[in-house]
Amino acid sequence: MQGTIVVAIGGALGSVLRYWFAIWLAPVSKDLPWGTIVVNIIGSFAIAFFGAMTMASSRFEVPEIWRIAFMVGICGGFTTFSSFSVQTFELLRLGMPGRALMNVGISLFVCLAATALGYVVGQAISKV
């Protein structure tokens, strides 16, 4: 039950943060959904960074419940694959396949790069 509660609280926090990013980036999101792209990049980095820093083999010992709260709750609520999908579909529906492809490419490759970077940086810091 404790895990469910921390995931719910973290998910609420992550969702509010995502909403704020969407509002903040709305002025520059006319051509592409930059709010979603940015939160997915940040979230991809953050989940890998925190996960790498708090692995059982790292020097930063964090109770598993805090890993669950951050990685499943906050990052899960913050990142938005469902929003990404519907926004990409909307770009296609509006006859903008180039922008849809840009959205997919940026989201996929930059988020994967952010995940790898988060892991490497987290591992490096946890061994200092």
Cα radius of gyration rounded to whole Å, the chain: 16
Tokens of 103: 């959205």
Strands (E) in the chain, as ranges, are: none
122 has binding-site annotation: no
Q: Which amino acid is at 60?
A: F
CA–chain centroid gap for 47, Å, is: 7
54 has binding-site annotation: no
Q: How many residues does the chain have?
A: 128
DSSP-H helix ranges across the chain: 2-25, 34-53, 64-67, 75-78, 81-93, 97-105, 111-126
Residues in binding site: 76, 79
Residues in binding site for Na(+): 76, 79
